[in-house]
Structure 1
Amino acid sequence: MTVTFKIIDKEYIDAIVPLVQKLNGNQVSNHVLKQRFLEMFSQNYECAGVFNGEKLIGISGLWFCTRHYSGKSVEPDHVFIDDAYRGKGLGKLFFEWIYNYAKLKGYESVELNTYVNNYPSHKFYYNQGFKILGYHFFKKL
């Protein structure tokens, strides 16, 4: 297996959307997801990919901002590694790449959200040195 990590251009949305669908269980249509991703790419958003050769096997959105409590911060979002590639240490390697990428861009901290019932992710993020600072609240308008 030859694994590489790189930023994915917005022209490749059609490769990103199926992985996001797997993560979220088809809660949002492909059409709506494509529209949302196009808008996200116009904001402080990038998408990083994990590739096995030419095949996209994992993704993470990266939101860049400055916050009063953390300084220049990157927020990994919709992190997903395809089922067939889990348990091989790729998540750890991917996050090391994300940390280095963010540092090269001048960012100093990482924060993220994860679903309450996604227990495997909790263990992973604890092992990566993350601490829980609060609760994420959501309200649909």
Structure 2
Amino acid sequence: MLAQFPVMQYLYTNFSLEKYDAYLTDMIPNNYKQVAVFEGDLCVGLSGLWSGTKLWSGKYLEIDNFIVHPDHRKKGVGKMMTDYIDIIGKETNCTMIVLDAFTGNYNAHRFYYNQGYAPKGFHFLKILNENGLS
């Protein structure tokens, strides 16, 4: 996962390798995984995945930090990843796949709508430490 740090920087431009390493150290024991698409040796798409269980949904799969290399957008890389994530969700008996997309990210909204995703509600948050955000 650390080898794909340059792809992660397309989403988090101020992210350091040390911070990424520390976060992965915390996340991996808590069921965090990644899927990636490669063209030769170049990672052109990357997404984190979590699975969990909630009372209202049962077992679910969560997409986290879905990134397509800017030079490879609109080439089917994103669809390739969502199709594969669908397979993982079905194989692991999840009832649904969930994700967050920032409210102003209209390109992502259009993409996710086209992949069969729809908003179900609002994801509320309360920032407790602004300096800790990526």
- For residues 101 and 37 of structure 1, the distance between their equivalents in structure 2, rounded to whole angstroms, comes to 21
TM-score, structure 2 as length reference = 0.87
Given that 1:51 and 1:58 are in contact with CA atoms closer than 8 Å, whether structure 2 keeps it comes out as: yes
Aligned amino acid, residue 23 of structure 1: L
Alignment of 1:66-81 (within 5 A): 66-81=53-68
Structure 1 residue 81: Cα displacement: 0.6
Given that 2:49 and 2:63 are in contact with CA atoms closer than 8 Å, whether structure 1 keeps it comes out as: yes
Structure 1 residue 18: Cα displacement: 2.0
Larger CA deviation: 79-88 vs 54-63: 54-63
Q: Unaligned stretches of 5+ in structure 2?
A: 129-134
Secondary structure, counterpart of 1:113 in structure 2? coil
Question: 22, 25, 41: which is aligned to 2:13?
Answer: 25
Structure 1 residue 127: Cα displacement: 1.0
- For residues 38 and 106 of structure 1, the distance between their equivalents in structure 2, rounded to whole angstroms, comes to 27
Alignment match, 1:117: 104
Alignment match, 2:116: 129
Secondary structure, counterpart of 2:90 in structure 1? helix
Alignment of 1:1-141 (within 5 A): 12-13=1-2, 15-26=3-14, 28-141=15-128
Q: Unaligned stretches of 5+ in structure 1?
A: 1-11
Question: Size of the alignment, in residue pairs?
Answer: 128
- For residues 106 and 78 of structure 1, the distance between their equivalents in structure 2, rounded to whole angstroms, comes to 22
Aligned amino acid, residue 5 of structure 2: V
Structure 1 residue 17: Cα displacement: 2.2
Structure 1 residue 137: Cα displacement: 2.1
Structure 1 residue 56: Cα displacement: 1.4
What is the percentage of aligned positions where both structures have the same residue?
35
- For residues 70 and 105 of structure 1, the distance between their equivalents in structure 2, rounded to whole angstroms, comes to 14
TM-score, structure 1 as length reference = 0.83
- For residues 137 and 16 of structure 1, the distance between their equivalents in structure 2, rounded to whole angstroms, comes to 30
- For residues 33 and 139 of structure 1, the distance between their equivalents in structure 2, rounded to whole angstroms, comes to 23
